Structure 1
Amino acid sequence: MAQAPAGSAAYGFGGSGALPPEAPVETTTRLRPVREKRAGRTVAVAACAVLGMGLIGGALAGVWLAAAEPGAPVEPVGYAEAKEIWHNAPVDTLFPRTVAGPGAGPGAAARTWTRVAVAPDAACSPAVMAKGLLAAVRPLGCERVLRATYTDATASSVITVGLVFTRADVTAQGALGRDLTTRLGQDVPPALAGPGTVAARFGAGQRASWWLTAPADLPVVVTAVSGFADGRSVDRPLPADQATSAGRTDAVAQSGLGHEAKGMAKRFEALLRTTAVAAAKEKTR
């Protein structure tokens, strides 16, 4: 991953905090050196035809074959590439300096988040991911965990986004994602504090709402946990679907922290998908 924005820490370091707000930013550093390229697997690309119209669709038909043997599972475009993104992609690609969220807040209000802290890549462990998620992912092969913390435009809330990369095949990844949030119950993802930033006091007791998603077309689980930037504690963190339910009048619901957790998880899922598909298409050129 390449670099850290103003107010955030760069990858490849051993520290835990964030850079001073106006620190210069590198844009080419990756999380760790890119591995030597291995000989790529032969893949078959299906062509998309529009019957009756005589029009030929795009260069990719939406799936790559994961293996040549009959009956092998089908990999979506970019699935294989996504397994390498955590160390191949620049940090600003995986964790953009700013993330726009049109309609992401309560009442479809717009949101904009700014990155304030980035952690070094880490091995899968309870220190960087929820214990229940670790137990669910470990049998599939848990590759690495990446995390960054953002704040909203008013600097009144903070949110930690986690990217848990797996070695799961398509079938296992699809099974993982089904009802994952429900199965994990109150197993909330850890918060990542940013010393010297608005997220300096974001710890376990400040977590207010959370969400996670395990898309079937990417070997990754995306988590997001939000809280108040002023350091106030929350008695019981709520999954985003509960925190955003109609009729709630508590501080977490009124602040939109549930909307923020779910909105960020969805946006980072989409961001990873776009990056992986672009990498796959680049290979076909």
Structure 2
Amino acid sequence: MTPGGAPGSTRPVVSFGEPEGYDERVRPRKIGVSVRPKVAAAAACVVLGLGLIGGAVTGSWLTGEPGDTGARDSFTVAGGLWHNVPVDQLFPPTVAGRGAGPGGADRTWTRIAVAPDTGCTDAFDPLMRKVLAPVGCERLLRATYTDATQSYVTTVGLLFTKGDAAAMSALARRFKDENLGSRTDLMPRPYAAQNTVAADFGPGQRASWTVSVLTDAPVVVYAVSGWADGRTVDEPEPAAEAMESGITTAPAQAGLGNEAQGLADRVERGLRQTVSSPTEKPS
């Protein structure tokens, strides 16, 4: 739980007046009046130098390089989204997943419950809390969705941390280097909403999951999926593995890896769009 790009933003319209040249005494004169060769050469060098500097600054802004003011501002903005943005913007009532299902099939998810925003004490298993401890827990937002057939349920979460950019990068590296995202003892817990099809969606019903540690926002995005009938899953499978071609496990055959990954991807995408255009709802 951010954050890529600035969709919806526009470039300002800038107009320029008639240009003037300068003589060797720095007195303005209209372009077209002859200027001594040395002065012209010096002016050309200045223009070229400014162009190179401007290009370098623009490139840094576009790529969000570490230390860039724009990147730092976006990181800070993302950290405050949990109390600045309506829940319908972070967790839309309906999420379209074009091509998100097995074989590129389309998916549609409907939100059936939103958990109260809380801390992280009871939201993760003890070992997962220990892994996340270096970045802390500012706030946790969760919502549970079901597919169009109400056969599957998926909880998606946005963990807003207290970590800075360096701490988030370190956690992301650890997840990658130690393959923490594939460990069954580090699965996120689901949100079982009473009086819904997810009422029986407990820890034993977790079938597939994904965890994404963002480095351009103090957010960990995750999703965990299971069957809506409350069946127990003996061998959960990480979404990345369940989505591989030829896998015949039950979560893979049911497309539960696609459910978790597809929904997490779209919630993360919406988060990034919100950071870029906080006053506009992501499409």
TM-score for both structures, normalised by structure 2: 0.71
1:103 aligns with 2:102: no
- Cross-structure match for 1:199: 198
Letter in 2 for 1:128: A
Q: 1:210 deviation in Å?
A: 0.4
Q: Structure 1's 79 and 188: CA in aligned 2 closer, same or farther, altered over 3 A?
A: same
Gaps spanning 5+ residues in structure 2: where? 1-49
1:81 aligns with 2:77: yes
Q: What's the CA shift string for 1:140-175, capped at 9, x where partnerless?
A: 232111111000011100000111111221122122
Aligned-residue CA RMSD (Å): 2.8
**Distance in 2 of aligned mates of 1:50 and 1:221:** 39
**Distance in 2 of aligned mates of 1:128 and 1:91:** 19
The 5 Å alignment of 1:185-224 reads 185-186=183-184, 187-224=186-223
The 5 Å alignment of 1:258-273 reads 258-273=257-272
The 5 Å alignment of 1:1-285 reads 61=62, 63=64, 75=71, 78-125=74-121, 127-178=122-173, 180=175, 182-183=179-180, 185-186=183-184, 187-279=186-278
Q: 1:77 deviation in Å?
A: 5.5
* SS, match of residue 112 in structure 2: strand
Q: Structure 1's 67 and 240: CA in aligned 2 closer, same or farther, altered over 3 A?
A: closer
- Cross-structure match for 1:28: none
Name the structure, 1 or 2, with higher relative contact order (CA <8 Å, separation 6+): 2
Bigger fraction of residues in helix:
2
- Higher mean C-alpha displacement, 76-85 vs 207-216: 76-85
Q: What's the CA shift string for 1:200-243, capped at 9, x where partnerless?
A: 11111111000010121111001100000111111021111222
Letter in 2 for 1:156: S
**Distance in 1 of aligned mates of 2:128 and 2:265:** 18
1:149 and 1:161 in contact (8 A); partners too: yes
**Distance in 2 of aligned mates of 1:179 and 1:111:** 32
